[in-house]
Amino acid sequence: MAFFKRGILVVLCCAMPLALLGVSADSLASNTRISVSNADGHPLSNAVVEVYFPRTDSPNTTVKRISQRDAAFHPNVLAVPVNSQVAFPNEDITRHHVYSFSPAKTFDLNLYLQETPPPVMFDQAGVVVLGCNIHDHMQAFIVVSDAPFFALTDSTGQVTLPSLPAGQHQVKVWHKGLHDSHQRWWEGQIESSQHLSVPLELNATPQPPQEPSPLQQRFQEAT
C-alpha cells in the first residue's frame, strides 16, 4: 500500500501470509542447526547426529573408505547408512590386521600389506569399533545409521539440518567420549524451526598413548 505525503511517496508494509510470498515454513527451517558441546561448553567435532522424520529419497550406499596411514585410521569416525560397504586400504609399509567384535558387525581382515581386501558390508545399525591386532593404539569408529538424516558435526560442533516437517522429531547424538562401551547415545527432541544445543557428559576413559610392545617392534622392523 502506498500514498503521497508532502511530495514523498510513503510505502506501508503489511503482514502477508508466507504462502503469498512464495516462502514455506519448511524452507525457513533449512538453517535449523544442532550444536554439540562438552559439559564446559567447548564444541565437539566428529559427533554423529541422527534426526528421524519422514523422508523419501534413497540413502547413498556407495563404497566408503577407511585407510590405514601412519599407523592410524583415516577418518577416525565414519558415518554410513545401513547396507553400506566400507573398504580398508593399507597405505602403510607395514602390515595391518583390522577387526571388530562389535554387536553391529563382527569381522576380521587378516594380515595384509599394500593391498585392499574386499569391502565389508555393514547391514545392521549401531556403532562398530575398529582395532588393529598389530597396533594396539589404533582405533576408529563406524556409525551405521538407519536414520533418514545423519551427519558428523564440524569443527564448530554444528550440523545444519535439511528442511523439517512441522512438529517434533527424535534426535540422537553419539560421541566416542560418551562411554567406555562406545554404545551409548544422547536422545532428545527438536522442533522443526528450533536451534538445539546438546551438552554431553563425556565419561569414557581417555585412551592413553601406547608404545609398541617388543614383539610389535620386531614385527614392524621385519616388515
Interval 190-222: pLDDT, tens: 998 889 999 999 998 876 655 554 545 555 555
Q: What is the dihedral of CA 97, 202, 182, 98, to 10 degrees?
A: -10
The pTM for the full model equals 0.79
**Among candidate residues 83, 127, 90, 137, the one with its CA nearest the CA of residue 112:** 90
Asked if residue 188 lies in contact with residue 25, where contact means CB atoms within 8 angstroms, the answer is no
Strand 139-145 and strand 126-132: the pairing is antiparallel
Helix or strand or coil: residue 212?
coil
What's the Cα-to-Cα distance from 55 to each of 48, 151, 177, rounded to whole Å? 19, 15, 30
Specify the pLDDT at position 217: 56
Report residue 112 as a C-alpha cell: 595384509
Interval 154-170: pLDDT, tens: 999 999 998 889 999 99
CATH no. for 32-206: 2.60.40.420
CA gap 204, 136 in Å, rounded: 18
Ranges under pLDDT 50 in the chain:
1-29, 213, 215
**Among candidate residues 134, 141, 157, the one with its CA nearest the CA of residue 64:** 141
**Among candidate residues 200, 213, 171, the one with its CA nearest the CA of residue 36:** 200
CA gap 218, 211 in Å, rounded: 13
Specify the pLDDT at position 62: 85
Specify the pLDDT at position 128: 98
Asked if residue 71 lies in contact with residue 91, where contact means CB atoms within 8 angstroms, the answer is no
CA gap 69, 91 in Å, rounded: 5
Specify the pLDDT at position 152: 98
